[in-house]
């Protein structure tokens, strides 16, 4: 069993309050979950209006499958309006 974890550091320029940020992130996390069947959670910067750090996890018996799915998540988020990826990293456990 292999667990692939994607850490996304995001900038949210349209957010002017924590309420705005929560709405934007909720929609993004729901879309990622539904499209890729992965787990998504905000793991840092919860009190910062325009920044967020998300963790996306995928469990598989094949490493290349997890790598492919998580790379597709990065591409998906890059195309999202209202959110910019500042940095990301992939880890496999």
In 3D space, the residue among 72, 79, 81 whose CA is nearest the CA of residue 90 turns out to be 72
Q: How far apart are CA 2 and CA 47, in angstroms?
A: 32
Q: Is the pTM higher than 0.85?
A: yes
Q: What gap in Å lies between CA 88 and CA 84, rounded to an integer?
A: 11
pLDDT in tens, the chain (93 residues): 899 999 999 999 989 999 999 999 999 999 999 999 999 999 998 889 999 999 999 999 987 899 999 999 999 999 998 899 999 999 998
**Where are the chain's structural domains?**
2-92
Contact 74/8 with Cβ under 8 angstroms?
yes
CATH architecture of 2-92: 2-Layer Sandwich (3.30)
């Amino acid at each position: 069993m292999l667990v692939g974890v994607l850490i996304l550091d995001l900038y949210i320029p349209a957010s002017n309050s924590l309420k705005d940020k929560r709405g934007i992130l909720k929609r993004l996390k729901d879309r990622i979950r539904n499209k890729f069947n992965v787990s998504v959670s905000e793991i840092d910067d919860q009190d910062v209006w325009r920044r967020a750090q998300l963790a996306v996890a995928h469990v598989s018996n094949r490493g290349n499958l997890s790598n492919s799915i998580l790379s597709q998540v990065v591409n998906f988020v890059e195309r999202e309006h209202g959110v910019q990826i500042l940095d990301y990293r992939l880890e496999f456990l």
